[in-house]
Structure 1
Amino acid sequence: MSEQQPASVRVDEQAIRALPKAELHIHLEGTFSLIDLLTLARESGADLPGPAATLFDVATHHEFTMPEVTTGGGTGVGKAGLSGFLRFLDWQCGLVRTREQAARTAYSFAARQSASGIRYSDVIVNPTHWNAWHGRELELVDALAAGFDAAEQDGLCVVNIAYSLLRGQDAVEAEDIVRSLVATRPRRVVALSIDGDEKTTGRTGVKFQEAFRIAAAGGLHRTVHAGESSGPDGVWDALDLLGAERIDHGIRAVEDPALIGRLVADGITLNVCPRSNVALGLYPSWSAHPLPRLLDAGVSVTLNTDDPSPLGTTLEADWSAASVEFGYSLVDLAGFAARSITASFADDDLKRRLSDELVAATSELVA
């Protein structure tokens, strides 16, 4: 990393958009725009669970609060934090009920990424949030792939899918899903993921060890959410039990020097999301976030948005904020772009092309 600038220097978002890059930790469920939700609700004849203007509210003190639909059909106020946020995702994804709606959602995602200068994305899709597709998960993936195909044909961001299990699923269900993925190899599915609230479910590495073994044997990449609401133990489990090639979040690894050493030695990339971590109350502020300490320790780190729509952000906005909060220069941000390309699950030809374009773009911007 280059010498840090004074914290008052902000790298312009236009310059950031000009950097070819990948985004590796972003959930399709967290990218619906407000107009997407209003359109889907109208098409599906569904009531909004609260005022349209406040669906994406991030309350004061960096806590995410959301209106939820109760089991009795009424509405209530969800608890702040990750569990309430996950319920919001269930509600919004439940609005997608047809193949055409799913393909449109995928195409819109690729367009959004392209607007931020993102050239490739490993988007995380957790079908457990998509209520209308239970029992038809592979049909959902195929519909999304059709949207991503159309977007790529139109010159938009290349998108592949990290199919995500939910920590609350049982082991047999997870293994059956992964066997289906390996047997059918759905278009654009390149990886197996797992997400959900670690604090609620506890350590689940042993439960999903066989599912991830099947994925590895079948040629799927592996990325694991860990070290967010749990401590370093979740990251150890992801590495030792699930064979993770990347860690989504992983920020709590900073609490364990031995784990930091393991990440550095094995070249494991952490896909961190500072705005999400602060909004959901893991850290009180950007200044308290361990991203700089992880980088200084030699860990490979990428900078991502996680769930940008409800958090009211874009990747270039978060990178620009990082330039202010952490003193990162444009050259430092180009380092994040380079790591994002290298750690991505894109094919080698695309990686080489994007890396070459990044070198050329960086030289032009800093000249």
Structure 2
Amino acid sequence: MVADLAKAELHCHIEGAASPELVRRVAARHGVDLSGLFDADGAFAWHDFTSFLNAYDRAAAVFRTPEDYRDLAYTYFTSLAAEGAIYGEVFISSDHALASGLSYRDYVEGLAEGIRDAEAETGIIGRMIATGVRHYGPDRILVAAQTVVNEPHPLVTGFGVAGDERMHHPRDFADAFRIAGEAGLGLTVHAGEFGGPESVRDALDHLGVTRIGHGVRAIEDPDLVARLVDEDIVLELCPGSNVALGLYPDIPSHPYARLRDAGVRVTVSSDDPPYFGSSIGAEYGWLADGQGQSRAALAEATRTAIDAAFVDAETRQRLINRLATA
């Protein structure tokens, strides 16, 4: 039902989109030891959120050159297009690039080359959201915001914070979000995943975001759900990720449908697909099969993603026109 449906993704971490095969190939270029990173079946080895973050960081560390990042972006965006996506945004992390000895500029240019190559081949349009890593602390997040503002790139159109939501308070990041917002970047933040509804509320109170990454725990507070509707906040929902990380036991239990039915603007994304056995096509399919979401309802999620995308008006209209002919 959804194989040929036009799709869009707003929430995917570019390092987290690297397949085990790509990680092995790039690691071989640089002689990186990957012992313990994979399980007996060749998948990434992790068992809880903390070990997931550790595996993520180890895999991300194999990417060290602009060519590596070009290959990563190209592979991800072409695979997205192969499942019917016309648009995708990826979270990028200058901290991960710097840890590998790469400048922010070279990191972004490598990714941009891959995005452009994928667009030339498939027509998919891509953009990047620069992020600070929450568990690295407020000072590092402030530097991430200053870096993206001081070294602008046409394909870097948003700013956000990812990482361990259990650490620090959103007010600690207010200056970083103010700097990014004043520079015209779109704003989003991870909240309401491992933090409860108060995490979402605090993000809305202190960060001026128009989108929330995940935000599923908002369902536990009817007043907060009403606020999301009233303030037209878009949720970047990642059902497969939430199930894989143990927030919900299965797709039918996920609050996607309840949030949508309450009037919240929801979208569909895969987060870190190879870690969770996911893809953009799988996410749409799981919602169709596991929650009975109709083709029209899922097409609405795609349109919501296009409306909420961090793109200029001309690009948004191009995407809307493609939806009309899809």
Amino acid at match of 1:317: A
CA displacement 1:28-86 (0-9 Å, x = unmatched): 122112220121121111222235753425xxxxxxx52xxxxxxxxxxxxx2221111
The 5 A counterparts of 1:119-134 are: 119-130=86-97, 132-133=99-100
- Distance in 2 of aligned mates of 1:131 and 1:55: 28
- Distance in 1 of aligned mates of 2:52 and 2:42: 11
Q: What is the aligned partner in structure 2 of residue 84 from structure 1? A: 51
Which one is further off, 151-160 or 277-286? Answer: 151-160
Question: 1:210: Cα distance to partner?
Answer: 0.4
Question: 1:237: Cα distance to partner?
Answer: 1.6
Question: 1:212: Cα distance to partner?
Answer: 0.3
State whether structure 2 residue 22 is matched by structure 1 residue 36: yes
- Distance in 2 of aligned mates of 1:18 and 1:335: 15
Match of 2:297 among 311, 326, 332: 332
Q: What is the aligned partner in structure 1 of residue 65 from structure 2? A: 98
Larger RCO (alpha carbons 8 Å, 6+ apart): 1
Q: What is the aligned partner in structure 1 of residue 133 from structure 2? A: 166
> CA contact under 8 A between 1:89 and 1:129: conserved in structure 2?
no
Question: 1:117: Cα distance to partner?
Answer: 1.2
Match of 2:183 among 218, 233, 242: 218
Amino acid at match of 1:42: A
Match of 1:265 among 213, 224, 230: 230
Amino acid at match of 1:125: I
- Distance in 2 of aligned mates of 1:317 and 1:235: 27
- Distance in 1 of aligned mates of 2:322 and 2:141: 39
Question: 1:329: Cα distance to partner?
Answer: 1.7
After TM superposition, the score normalised by the length of structure 1 is 0.83
Structure showing greater Rg: 1
Q: What is the aligned partner in structure 2 of residue 236 from structure 1? A: 201
Question: 1:173: Cα distance to partner?
Answer: 3.1
> CA contact under 8 A between 1:22 and 1:118: conserved in structure 2?
yes
Report percent identity of matched pairs.
36
Match of 1:48 among 31, 34, 40: 34
Secondary structure at the counterpart of residue 111 of structure 2: helix
> CA contact under 8 A between 1:126 and 1:165: conserved in structure 2?
yes
The 5 A counterparts of 1:311-322 are: 311-322=276-287
> CA contact under 8 A between 1:93 and 1:131: conserved in structure 2?
no
Match of 2:5 among 12, 19, 22: 19
Which one is further off, 182-191 or 234-243? Answer: 182-191
Change (3 A) 1:53 1:141: farther
After TM superposition, the score normalised by the length of structure 2 is 0.93
> CA contact under 8 A between 1:27 and 1:124: conserved in structure 2?
yes
Change (3 A) 1:106 1:213: same
Amino acid at match of 1:44: H
State whether structure 2 residue 253 is matched by structure 1 residue 288: yes
- Distance in 1 of aligned mates of 2:93 and 2:145: 13
Question: 1:324: Cα distance to partner?
Answer: 1.4
Secondary structure at the counterpart of residue 89 of structure 1: helix
- Distance in 1 of aligned mates of 2:21 and 2:7: 27
- Distance in 1 of aligned mates of 2:188 and 2:4: 27
Q: What is the aligned partner in structure 2 of residue 145 from structure 1? A: 112
- Distance in 1 of aligned mates of 2:140 and 2:35: 31
Change (3 A) 1:197 1:180: closer
Amino acid at match of 2:94: P
Amino acid at match of 2:104: E
CA displacement 1:155-201 (0-9 Å, x = unmatched): 442111101101123333322332232122124110111011212x1
Secondary structure at the counterpart of residue 338 of structure 1: helix
Amino acid at match of 2:24: L
Amino acid at match of 2:155: R
- Distance in 1 of aligned mates of 2:178 and 2:231: 19
Which one is further off, 269-278 or 314-323? Answer: 314-323
Amino acid at match of 2:180: A
Unaligned runs of 5+ in 1: 1-10, 58-64, 67-79, 362-367
CA displacement 1:284-336 (0-9 Å, x = unmatched): 12222111110111000011111111222221122111111111121121111
- Distance in 2 of aligned mates of 1:214 and 1:239: 16
Question: 1:130: Cα distance to partner?
Answer: 4.1
Change (3 A) 1:231 1:117: same
- Distance in 2 of aligned mates of 1:209 and 1:177: 13
State whether structure 2 residue 272 is matched by structure 1 residue 307: yes
- Distance in 1 of aligned mates of 2:100 and 2:108: 10
